[in-house]
Amino acid sequence: METTPKIITEKVIQLCNKVVTDSLPIFVAVIPDEIAKINECFHNVDNVIRRRGGYRINGWAIWQWDNKLVEAEAHAVWKSLDGVLLDVTPHRNGEKNILFLQDNNMIYNEENIDNIRMALTESPLVKEYISLSEEYIFLLSPYKPHEEIPYSALPKRFTEVCRRRQEISGIFHKVVERNDKCSCGSGIKYKKCCGK
């Protein structure tokens, strides 16, 4: 499952350096605002600022999928008037803390911002998933987030990309035993691969 990395590893630092060169990742507590919505971090923070003051800090939430991949997702947190950073957005996986990378150059204009991903394995499935994810955002780039998109307006390739991404995600989330072959497709036993 995609979660906050438990520790800041060398691979996490490599990803962060790929995204932003003048900032280090920090753990930020998640305390969802009472009217905040999942996947609406920029609006959630702006709503809190209107009611309580403070500032929006743009950046990236850092996520890890076992030992398969790490990715940076565009994200905003709230900085209170006394300087405390809080993530006011609830997360589907119930995170209590996130790993956050501040990006002073990020500008959010109601546009899709693609995640930045880095494989942690040589698995061809992981590489395919990353490639498909980049193509998915490219195919959606003409549209604003939450915009109603007529199905007929999307290219046929979009359906194929969605189907294959979902298929690979299902493989990644498949429960395997320690001595089974790893779900990442490496061909190695789970205990010596993503189960480390």
Three-state helix/strand/coil letters over the chain = CEECCCCCCHHHHHHHHHHCCCCCCEEEEECCCCCCCCCCHHHHHHHHHHHHCCEEEEEEEEEEECCCEEEEEEEEEEECCCCCEEECCCCCCCCCEEEEEECCCCCCCCCCCCCEEEECCCCHHHHHHHHHHHHHHHHHCCCCCCCCCCHHHCCHHHHHHHHHHHHHHHHHCCCCCCCCECCCCCCCEHHHCCCC
Half-sphere exposure of 154 (CA within 13 A, CB side): 20
pLDDT at 18: 95
47 within 8 A of 56, measured Cβ to Cβ? no
76 within 8 A of 58, measured Cβ to Cβ? yes
- For residue range 117-148, list pLDDT tens digits in order: 999 988 899 999 999 999 998 888 887 767 78
Distance CA 57, CA 186 (A): 38
pTM (2 decimals)? 0.86
16 pLDDT more than 80: yes
- For residue range 59-117, list pLDDT tens digits in order: 999 999 888 899 999 999 999 999 999 999 999 888 999 999 999 999 998 887 889 99
Q: Give the gyration radius of the chain's Cα atoms.
A: 18
Distance CA 188, CA 54 (A): 49
Local confidence band at 196 (pLDDT 50, 70, 90 cut-offs): low
14 within 8 A of 101, measured Cβ to Cβ? no
